[in-house]
A and B are shown apart, each in its own frame.
Chain A
Amino acid sequence: MRFATSMLNRTMLTSMNRQNERIFNLQTQLSTGQKFHTATDNPIDFASTLDLDHAQKRVDQYKRNIDSLTQRMGLQESTMGSITDNVKRIRELSIQAGNPSYDMTNRKAISTELRERMREIVDLGNTQDANGEYIFAGFTSDDTPFSMNQVGDLFHVEYNGTDHSREIQVSESRTMPVGLVGKDVFFDISGENSVRTDAAQANTGSAAFSTAFVDDDTAYIADDYTLTFTSPTSLSITDGAGGAVGTYPYTSGEIIEFNGLKMSFTGNPDVSDSFSVRTSQYQDIFTTVNQLTEALEDPSQPAASLAIDLSKSLGHVTEALDHVVDQRAQIGSRLKALESHQETNEELSFQIQSRYSKLNDTDFAEAASDLAQQTAILQAAQLTFSKVQNLSLFNYIQ
């Protein structure tokens, strides 16, 4: 082929240009530790690194979520521990109360401690976390979930929170509630021969239940009873079928007894205010303690009947203890689940990072040896260029 002078220049320049570009590229790889920096360099791998980065950020968020959830649940777990201790103590006290050698003074002392324990349980139920949130309140976490109203020696505790607490995303497909709500812990405790009370919405007076429980299992007739005030001082009771059970006088805080049930109201009722007492499968822990102290402090109670009452109460207390332990275990198992989620996340995070570095990390050995090679080639090209450039016939025309 005929060879034009310009071809020599061009060939040399093109090849030196290419070497320069490769050297620059390798240098960038070596100095940054990354194979590519923009989508143009390597669109497919770049897009993959964006995806991986997204996955990493998501996993990081789950990790944060789990950390915050673990912290919260940790607080609930330890609070549940204290609650369990208190319920255990209540159970000890109710066993102790059965001691036949105890007289009224001993029993009163036990009652006093029982009430103390109950107060503490309510306090624990109103525990706040570092942000001031009530941990057993569910959604309404800025409001005290348990309100307590003492009438005489009886307590009425009401739960004002919600049924559910907020859920936190712990993995792509799984959410977990931040904790138990008070209703689950203290109210939904199974119990034989239990009742629940309710006030009619249309009531205008200030009267409210302070407590209601089945006192005498044998006399108890399970039914849905309606109590209607016929005057501020008397009420009439009807059963589920509308049949009259009887009329009773009313004094605030005084116990009313019928069909094996014991109950008391406080406040001033208006005429035709009505309340209902219904059979339930649950008895809350506070009613159980009321039931216990009521039995212990009844001076007219014969020993045999006291023993029956105490054994019944013990049944309820044992249920309550089992329930609280069970609820605590639930938190424990959730914490365990969180831990395993966290481990999965760590593993995922590791996988993502290793894939990321496989995609985009410079292979230093390879890049360094390539760089040495390219530099040698460039030097050779430069040397050849200067040599060849000197060759010209014009040098010899004198």
Chain B
Amino acid sequence: MSTMLQIGASALHSTNRAMATASHNVANVATEGFSRQRVEFNSAGSNMVGSVAVGRGVEAGHPQRIYDQYVTEQLRNIGSEKAYLEVIATQGEQLDGIFGTADSGLQAALESFYNAASDVSNDPTSAAARAVFVEQSDLLTMRFNTVEDQLQGVERVAQGQISKTVAEINKITESLVDVNGMIKVARQGDGSARADLLDQRDKLLSDLSDKMNINAYENEDQTVNVYLKQGQSVVMGVRRSVFEESIDRETGQQSVDIMFNNARHTIGDVITRGELGGLLEGANEMITQTRNTLGRTAMGLGDAMNTMHRQGIDLSGNAGQDLFSFAGPDVKGAGDNAGTAAVTAVIDDFSQLTAEDYAMTYNAASSDWTIKNTTTDATVTAAGPSISLDGFTLTTSGAPADGDIFYVRPSRDGIVSFASEISNGSELAAASKIRADSSNVNAGDGNIEVVKITDGNNVSLTDPVTIQFDDPPSTFSVLDSSGGVIAAAQAYTPEATIAFNGWEVKIENTPASGDTFEVIPNNNGSGDNMVMRQIAALRDTELFVNGTQSATDAYTSLVGSIGTQANIASINLEAKEVAYTSLQDRRDSISGVNLDEEAADLIRLQQAYMAASRVISTSQRMFDSLIQML
């Protein structure tokens, strides 16, 4: 009887525990990261009654969670990818918003500007056309400047998100360390940690891998260690690294440092996935690419137009001034440079210029500089004081110390500094500085034409020059305004280029001896449009990328590139979401709670409980009838 009572009690106790566990499962049906738990029943063995073995009842184990380590790890990895892609897609969409459509974006401003230039070229004497050009120049620069404002907006948001993410990472690792500590302490009878603590641990790991790509290893005591890709420790049992935002000294780019045991490491380039990976890539690559490409476009266009405009004269007969102004390359030394060196940079050739940034490091041993393209990581080693590469020239001065770094960003300030310099339509130098005319009394049918101005800044450009054909007219002399000979007996070839003083002209047909042609200042040449026609033709002039891209091409390919990055990210994201969902399904099919199952369990356990109660009441009745017999 006492055995029966004991057996009944063990059954009551065990079913009670199992029912509590089932209830726990039901209660946590909607809890994220929860793994269903199960209580194992085991026979409690038997006692020998004489030579007969009689069972002792049942024993219930500790609640165990049902889970699959492999699926959990895979979920973490895909979660990390997913978070990364989400950030990239969002960043791309934000940048897309800046570009706008063909009707509203920067391209529209460029088109309107070219149209205004063409209209001035059609009607160089029209004050209205000139006024529209001045207005469109202003609008164009404003549009570029607005893009910078918007980029800064995107950048600020990204910056804020990086700070937030870093703070979250620190919070998660702190919790992980806590949970690790609890796991160490809270061992159960069977040596395993409590199921809910392990769930909590796994949830933290999954949160952490949403933020960045990590590797997690479970120790024997079921605590975890977390490492980054190249083995940097994030969490070691109950110790952890602290994350901090930083600037990568090697590249000058946005980065993250970790501090472990008082040692600081820059690890931005190791974090390539998760939210933080996406944010760093967005800030360092997509935003930089956009700003630099547009900056280069603004500067290259401005430079080409200024060069052309300086070849012209305005309505008052004054030489054309710069149409646009813009800042030169941005060069900054690292804050901890030990030497006294200074570096300046000048752009020589926009067609060679990349849309990338550079970092130059001094090597004292070889007294030279290593210049690294921070996007492609390609390096060039050269000694100062003058180093030319990729369309710009660096000039070093002063005494650098070993390891001193300068960050060179050639087109970074292009769009922010782009400004229109012309405020009055009459200052537009639509006409060429010079023109070429044949003398009204020429006997032959020779015809002269200006081919182009090769050097708008040549001091002698507008000096009047006379080309006089000799007798016989197979040669000609070039004379200055006072009849002085600049060049004598030049052989005449029809349509051959004749170049002096920064201009090129050509003469065709058959001049007679004594015929003269003049290259003279284009005074009162208000009906000429040579300069403005060239400026309008910049619409399709391939100024960039080794002369393969016009400003519009560069813009279109930038929009395409950013769009593609965002588009690929969203396509991949969709694929990852499908994979993630199916993994979640797998995980849930193993660890998830099924309410029907739990209900069935409860019914089953309830019946078991009732039966066990009946065992106890039976044993009591047996005891009662024994007592009555007495």
Contacts and interface: CB of A to CB of B under 8 A. Distances in A.
A38 B563 contact: yes
A341 interface: no
A168 B122 contact: yes
A64 B132 CA distance: 16
Given A43-B564, A166-B533, A392 B599 contact: yes
B585 A61 contact: no
B440 A187 contact: yes
B102 A131 contact: no
B589 A54 contact: no
A280 B588 contact: no
A51 interface: yes
B126 interface: yes
B563 A39 contact: yes
A65 B539 CA distance: 15
Contacts of A2: 589-590, 594
A69 B123 CA distance: 10
B126 A131 contact: yes
Contact of A43 (B443, B514, B539, B560): B560
B629 to A, nearest CB: 41
Most buried by A among B92, B122, B126, B536: B122
Interface stretch (B107-115, B165-173, B221-229): B107-115
Interface in A1-54: 1-7, 10-11, 14, 37-44, 46-47, 49-51, 53-54
B560 A47 contact: yes
Contact of A54 (B111, B435, B448, B591): B111
Contacts of A10: 581, 584-585, 588
A10 B592 CA distance: 12
Given A166-B528, A169-B533, A183-B440, A47 B123 contact: no
B593 A397 contact: no
Contact of B522 (A42, A139, A197): A139
Given A51-B556, A54-B111, A167-B533, A4 B445 contact: no
Interface string A52-75: 011001101100110011000000
Contact of A40 (B123, B570, B589): B570
Contacts, number: 222
Interface stretch (A156-164, A254-262, A328-336, A371-379): A156-164
Given A43-B563, A44-B560, A139-B435, A5 B97 contact: no
Secondary structure of the A contact surface, majority rule: mixed
Q: How large is the interface on A (under 10, 10 to 19, 20 to 34, 35 or more residues)?
A: 35 or more
A11 B588 CA distance: 12
A271 B525 CA distance: 35
A53 B595 contact: no
B559 A39 contact: yes
A197 B556 contact: no
Contacts of B593: 4-6
Nearest to A52: B102
Interface string A65-89: 1001100000000000000000000
Given A39-B563, A51-B556, A64 B431 contact: no
A279 B471 CA distance: 14
Nearest to A42: B567
A278 interface: yes
Interface string B487-514: 0000000000000000000000000101
A241 B126 CA distance: 52
Nearest to B124: A166
Contacts of A346: none
Nearest to B99: A39
B449 to A, nearest CB: 7
B104 to A, nearest CB: 11
Most buried by B among A39, A139, A167, A183: A39
A58 B533 contact: no
Interface stretch (A114-122, A140-148, A242-250, A306-314): A140-148
B530 interface: yes
Contacts of B588: 4, 6-7, 10
A358 to B, nearest CB: 16
Given A6-B30, A166-B530, A280-B442, 15 more contacts: A2-B589, A3-B594, A7-B585, A10-B588, A42-B567, A50-B552, A50-B559, A53-B111, A54-B556, A57-B115, A61-B539, A140-B525, A140-B526, A142-B526, A162-B528
Interface of B: 29-30, 36, 89, 92-93, 96-97, 99, 101-102, 107, 111, 114-115, 118-119, 121-126, 431, 435-445, 447-449, 483, 512, 514, 522-530, 533, 536-537, 539-540, 552, 555-557, 559-564, 566-567, 570, 581, 584-585, 588-596, 599-600, 602-603
23 contacts: A4-B36, A5-B594, A38-B99, A40-B96, A43-B566, A44-B560, A47-B557, A47-B560, A53-B107, A131-B125, A140-B523, A140-B527, A141-B125, A158-B440, A164-B435, A165-B527, A169-B121, A196-B440, A197-B441, A278-B514, A280-B442, A280-B512, A397-B602
Interface of A: 1-7, 10-11, 14, 37-44, 46-47, 49-51, 53-54, 57-58, 60-61, 64-65, 68-69, 131-134, 137-143, 158-159, 162-169, 172, 175, 183, 187-188, 196-198, 201, 224, 276, 278-282, 392-394, 397
